Amino acid sequence: MKAVILAGGLGTRLAEETDVRPKPMIEIGDYPLIWHVMKIYSAHGIREFIICLGYKGHIFKEYFANYLLHLSDICVDLGSQSVEYLNNQSNDWKITLINTGHDTMTGGRIKRIGHLLGSEPFLLTYGDGVADVDITASIEQHKASNRLATVTAVRPPGRFGTLNIDSEGAVIGFDEKSESQKGWINGGFFVLEPGVLDYIEGDMTSWEREPLSAIAEDGQLSAFFHTGFWQPCDTLREKRLLEEFWHNGKAPWQVWES
């Protein structure tokens, strides 16, 4: 099963980082965000990835083309002009990197790589959000649903702390990590049938708007409810939060063996 990762956006809300590199290439620990996303899938047996590139796509190509070099100790023999890798810690992934256009919308990016998907179901997510979502269970639920698409539904994380106030107006406490208890949002981590491509008109189609709405109206969209950890990386504050988790050895999305 292939996993498609949308990684072509500008990431303007994180301009401190994305002026020099795409948001999925921002590092959490010593690894880019997209690596963390791929490791989540890999923990569930997914080994083949298609990355939809746009803004500064060459940075992804350079990183993965030199992936083994990044992770290994090496011995360089200048006389024979050879390089020996001493401790190969690479992953057994097959990665296809496709330029899907600088200004193409998310739906258009999916449409552009449609010829690589074949006739089997595929996975889709964003390159800038991590979770401890059970990919295997979402696939099983999707197959049982007999629908075209399954979206992982999550609770939106609280961006602001809340005040606990008594009936007389006194603040009696502060909840720093509140979560909204109302509604569910699109958390990515889709399982899709190739038929969803028919709902995408072209480059300027946003996957999250007309296609998903039309699929839902046709009764072909199901929800896989995820109540565990889920966190996008849209702001500098959220990046620092993920870094804190990682450096403290308590990253909830690390569902793989280190």
Per-residue pLDDT tens digits for 23-73: 999 999 989 999 999 999 999 999 999 999 999 999 999 999 999 888 889
Does 176 fall in a domain? no
| Residue 254 within a domain | no
In a domain, 84, yes or no: yes
Tell me if 32 is assigned to some domain. yes
CATH number for position 65 = 3.90.550.10
CA distances from 137 to 141, 152, 250 (A): 6, 11, 23
168 lies in some domain: no
How many independent structural domains does the chain possess?
A: 1
Instruction: Give the mean model confidence (pLDDT) for residues 191-197.
Output: 98
Look at residue 121 and tell me whether its pLDDT is greater than 60: yes
What is the predicted pLDDT for the residue at 11? Answer: 73
Q: Quick check: 143 pLDDT over 80?
A: yes
pLDDT the model gives residue 245? 95
The percentage of residues in the chain with a pLDDT greater than 70, rounded to a whole number, is 89
Let me know: does 174 contact 164? Beta carbons within 8 Å: yes
Helix (H, G, I), strand (E, B) or coil at 148: coil
In a domain, 204, yes or no: yes
User: Model-level pTM?
Assistant: 0.88
pLDDT of 158: 66
Q: Is 256 inside a domain boundary?
A: no
**66 lies in which domain range?**
2-156+184-247
Report d(CA 247, CA 231) in Å as an integer.
16
Looking at the domain assignment, is residue 139 inside a domain? yes
Count CB neighbours of 5 within 10 A: 26
